Chains A and B, each alone.
Chain A
Amino acid sequence: MIKKENDFVIHVATVNGSGSQSSNSVLVKSLFRMGLGVSGKNMFPSNIAGLPTWFTIRISEKRYAGRNSNNHLVVAMNPSTVKQDIDSVANEGYFIYNSDMKFDSALLRDDVTNVGISYRSLIKGVTDSVKLKKLLVNMIYAGVVAELIGIPEDVIETVVTDQFSSKPGVVESNLKAIATGREYAKENLEPNNFGLKVKPIDNGNEGKILIDGNTATALGFMYGGCTFLSWYPITPSSSITENFEFYAKKFRQDESGANTFAVVQAEDELSAISMVIGAGWTGARAATCTSGPGLSLMAEAAGLSYFAEVPAVIWNVQRGGPSTGLPTRTQQGDLLSSVYLSHGDTEHVVLLPTGPEECFEFGQTCFDVAESLQTLVVVLSDLDTGMNLWISDELKPSSQSFQRGKVLREEDLKNRDSFERYGDVDGDAIPYRTLPGTHHPLAGYFTRGTGHKPDAGYSEDNEVYRDLQLRLKRKRISAKEYLPQPVIDSRPNAKIGIIAYGSTDAAIPELRDSLATEGVETNYLRVRAFPFDDSIEKFIEDNDTVYVVEQNRDGQLHHLIQKEWPHYYSKLKSICQFDGLPLEAKFIQNQVMNFQGAR
C-alpha cells in the first residue's frame, strides 16, 4: 500500500448539484490552513444537477499546483462513474466508496485498499430532512477523509464555521456530519494505519491566500478604477462580474451611498463590447468579461476599437472551443482569435496573466494599457486559472497612479491653435484625444470606423488609408513599453528552453524538476503579453531547442512566435495538450523526451 506524507492526490467523484463543492472546499481550505501546498481543481459538467463531477485535491510537498492524475485516494459517490473511478486509482492506492451504490463488486481491484461505507445508515443520525440528507452526505465523506489523513478537528471546525458564517444552523448540521464521518472512521477504519497522512507545516502558508483567478480579477477591476463593466453571462467568466458587483456594492460607493461604478448586463456580447466602446470613448475605464463564443460575437466591434482607437478591455476566460465546445473545460485556444479579432488587418494587444496574483495585477493595469495605447486590450485567462483554487501571495494594492493616456482637457486646449485627433504629434504613433463634454471649440471631432484623415474627417484616399494603417502598425512598437515583460528563469548550463503562458505555468516547475532528474536542465520563459518583447528572441537564440508548451490543438503561441522570428523555425518545437483538462507535467515530459530522443 502507498505510504505518503504531505504529498498525494485525493480525487472525489460525485454528482453535480449535490453540494459536494462545499465539502471539497472545506477539505482544501483545511489543508491550506495546515500550511500545506494544496490546490483544488473542479471538473464539472455543463449542467445544473445530476451529471458526474470530479474534484481533485493535490497536496504537494514542493507546492506543485499543476494537475496530477495519479490519484492516491479516490472517493466514489457517483454510481454512474464507479467503474472509471475504480480504474482511476493509482497502483496500490485507496478507494473509498459508497457501499449503497449498486455495482459489480468484482470490479474492485486487488492492488487497491477498498473501503465501502454505507452513507445511507450514517446520514440517518445527522438529519431527518430528505433535502439536507443529499447535501450533508458529502460532509460525511469529508469527515472520513479528514480523520483518515489526519486533519485536526479544530482546523476543519473553524473552516466550516468561517465558510457558513452567515448561517449558524448550517454550521451545526455540517459539523455534525463531519463528526459522524470521523467517528465512523475512528471505529471502523483504523486511521492510524492509513497510508496517506498530512502533517501541519508551521507558517507554511504565511502571507498566502487560497483564491480563484476570477475573484482576483474582480478585485483587480475594483482597485484598478474600473467604472463600467458590461457582460453577458457565460461560463467560465460570470463569476468575475458577480464578484465585482458583490465587492463594489460594499466598497465602491461615495459618502451618500451612490455607486462609483456601473454594471450593465447586456443583451449579447456584441452589445456588451459596444457599451464598453461607448464608455471608453467617453473616457471611462470600461471592460467586459466573456469566454470564447462571446469573443467571437465581439469581432466587429474589436475592429472598431482598433481602427477608431477607442480604449476597451475584453477579459476572456478561455474554455474549450470552437463553437459551444467544452463550456466547462479549460483551454488556451483563443490566442490567435484574440490577436486577430476582426476582419481586415488588425493586431490586438493581448495580456496573458498567470494565477490569481496576475489576475489581480492585470485587472488593474489592463486599463492603463488600453487608455495609454487607445486601443482594445484582450486579457486571456482560462477556466483553470479563473475557477479553480490556487495558493497565491496575499493581494496588495498598487501604489501606482492610473495611466489615463493622452487626453486633452479644456485647459490643455487653451494653449493650442489646433487639434488633430489622429495626428502623430509625438512620433510614437499614439495620438491625443479629447472627450465628449469638453467645453472648447477645438475639442469636438467625429469618430468613425470608416477611413479617416488625421483630423478625423472621412477619407477614402489610398494614401491616407495606407498611412493610417501603417501608423496603427507602428503602435505595436510603442505598445511594448506599456506591457509586462516575460518572466525568465535560467539554470546554469541549460540549453533547452521552455516557453509557456497562463495556466500552463502550473505544470512547468514540476516538469523542470522532473526533466532535471533525467539529466535535462531547462531554462524557462513565461510570456505575459503580445506584441512580444524582444527578450523572447534573445531567449530563443540562447537555447539550442525551445519547446513552446500550450493548451490548444494547433500550437497557437508557437505559431505567433514562429511568425515573429521565422529564422528560428528549426529550433522551435510545439507541445500541445488540448483535451480540456489542465495540463499535466508528465504529459509534457513525455513529449520533450520524445523530441530529445529524436534529435
Chain B
Amino acid sequence: MAGENTQGLTKKDYMGAKSTLCTGCGHDSITSNIVNALFLANVNPYDVAKLSGIGCSAKTTNYFLNSSHGFNAIHGRMAPLATGVKVAHSGLTALGVSGDGDTASIGFGGFAHLLRRNLPMTYIVENNGVYGLTKGQFSATADKGTRHKDGTENPFETIDICSLAIDLGCSFVARSFSGDNKQLTALLMAAMKHHGTAVIDIISPCITFANNEGSTRSFSAVKENLNPLNKIDVIQPQEDIKVDYDPGTSREVELPDGSKIILSKIDEDHDPSNRLDAITKLVHARESGKILTGLFYVNESQKTLMEELNLTKKPLRDLNEEETRPSESVLSDIMQDFK
C-alpha cells in the first residue's frame, strides 16, 4: 500500500508522544529524522529498545516509537544500561539517545568503554554544547572561547566526541547537523544497520540557551561553519539504485543486511577505513573553526561484544531451568573437589 514500508507500517507508526521541548529545538528535527530513518529502514518497532540517560536529549526517546519499550534511566548511564539490554537479548535493536553532558561529562567513562567493547547499537549524541535542562551552563563539548548568553567565555578545551570515538576504537563514527535532513536520515539508517557501535554526534543548536551572539553553536554560526566531508546515501537490498552517483568518485561500504552506504566526494576524497586520516581531518577542522560532518570512519569487520561473549542463539533472558541448570551429577562431581 502506498505510504507503507515492508513491515506494512506507515511513518505515523514510528511516531511518539508530543514533544515538550522548546519550540524550534534542534532535538525535535533529530526526532523527525529518527522516525524517518526507522520507517525507511523497515525496522520492526517491537524489536527496538529506546534507551537514554537524563537531559533534554534523553526526553526525546519518548517522542518517537510509541509502541516500543523505552528506558529513560539515570544521568550518564545509558551506555552500561544498553550493554545489559543488548546482552540479555541480542535480537533487540538498541537505539540510544544521549546528550553532551550525558556522554562527555557524567557518562564519559561508560561511553568510552562501550566503544572499546563495540556493543551493537546506535548511539546518538544530541550535542548543543550546553546543559539545557539546568538552564544553559557550558558542557564539555562547548567550544573553547564560545560565549554564554551573559557574555561569559568558555575557558576550557572542547571534547570532540568524534575524534575521541575513533581513537577509542568505535567502529562507526559520524557527525551531522540537526537541520541537514538528508544527511542525517541517511546516517541514521546506516548506523541502525551497522554491526557494532555506531556513534552519530549531531550538532543540535539550543534555541534557548546558546543561540546568542558569540556562541559558536547558534543556528547561524553552525550553518556558516558546516563543512560536509562526504555525501551519504544508503541503498537497501530491495531497492533499485536510484541514487545519482559516479562509481569512480564514490566509495561503497557494505552493511550486514546487504545494504550499501555510498559515500560521494564533495571537496576531497575520504577513505572511511582510514582512522588516522579521519582524526587528522577532524583536528584540522576544529582548529579552523569548521564543523566537519559526514561519515568519518566505518569498519564492518571489527569484532563486537556479542561475538566475544559467544552467546547461545536463544536470548539469555528467555533461558530457564532446562537451559541453565546443570544436572545433579555435575554438582556431585564438583563436590568431589571439596571433599
Contact = CB atoms under 8 A, between A and B. Distances in A.
A436 B89 contact: yes
B237 to A, nearest CB: 23
Interface in A448-481: 448-450, 458
A272 interface: yes
Contact of A396 (B61, B328, B338): B328
A549 interface: no
Contacts of B207: none
Contacts of A268: 109
Interface in A213-228: 215, 219, 222-223, 225-228
A419 B85 CA distance: 22
Contacts of B241: none
Interface of A: 33, 162, 205, 208-211, 215, 219, 222-223, 225-228, 230, 247, 251-254, 256-262, 264, 266-268, 270-272, 274-284, 286, 300-301, 304, 394-397, 401-402, 404, 434-441, 443-450, 458
Given A279-B317, A402-B321, A434 B80 contact: no
29 contacts: A219-B331, A222-B324, A222-B326, A258-B310, A259-B310, A259-B311, A260-B316, A260-B323, A261-B324, A264-B309, A270-B80, A271-B83, A275-B83, A277-B81, A278-B51, A278-B82, A279-B317, A284-B84, A286-B88, A397-B325, A397-B331, A435-B69, A435-B317, A436-B89, A437-B69, A437-B92, A444-B69, A444-B70, A446-B69
Interface in B262-313: 305, 309-313
A465 to B, nearest CB: 17
Nearest to A267: B113
Given A223-B325, A227-B324, A228-B87, A278 B71 contact: yes
Contacts of A402: 320-321
B324 A446 contact: no
Interface in B32-85: 44-51, 61-62, 65-74, 77, 79-85
Nearest to A281: B71
A161 to B, nearest CB: 13
Given A259-B310, A397-B331, A401-B321, A209 B338 contact: yes
The 7 closest A-B pairs by CB, nearest first: A278-B84, A283-B317, A436-B69, A279-B84, A284-B88, A274-B80, A282-B88
B112 interface: yes
A598 to B, nearest CB: 45
Given A223-B331, A227-B317, A446-B72, A282 B46 contact: no
Nearest to A442: B67
Interface string B97-128: 00000000000011011000100000000000
Contact of B69 (A257, A260, A397, A447): A447
A230 B84 contact: yes
B69 A278 contact: no
Interface of B: 44-51, 61-62, 65-74, 77, 79-89, 91-92, 109-110, 112-113, 117, 305, 309-313, 315-321, 323-326, 328, 330-332, 334-335, 337-339
Contacts of B49: 282, 436-437
B238 to A, nearest CB: 22
Contacts of A283: 88-89, 317-318
A286 B81 CA distance: 12
A304 B321 contact: no
B192 to A, nearest CB: 16
A251 B113 CA distance: 29
A449 B75 CA distance: 10
A219 B334 contact: yes
B311 A258 contact: yes
A443 B80 CA distance: 24
Contact of B83 (A219, A278, A395, A444): A278
Contact of B113 (A271, A444, A458): A271
Contacts of A215: 338
Given A261-B316, A266-B80, A443-B46, A210 B338 contact: yes
A438 B91 CA distance: 11
Contact of A278 (B48, B88, B320): B88
Contact of A275 (B81, B310, B319): B81
A449 B72 CA distance: 7
B82 to A, nearest CB: 6
B335 A209 contact: yes
Nearest to A439: B46
A436 B326 contact: no
Contacts of B62: 446, 458
Contacts of A441: 67
A26 B10 CA distance: 71
A447 B316 contact: no
A443 B69 contact: yes
Contact of A274 (B69, B73, B89, B313): B73
A260 B320 contact: no
Contacts of A278: 51, 71, 73, 80-86, 88
Contacts of B324: 222, 225-227, 252, 260-261
Nearest to B328: A397
Most chain B CB within 10 A, of A230, A252, A274, A443, is at A274
Contacts of A448: 71-72
Nearest to A434: B69
Given A286-B84, A394-B335, A437 B91 contact: yes
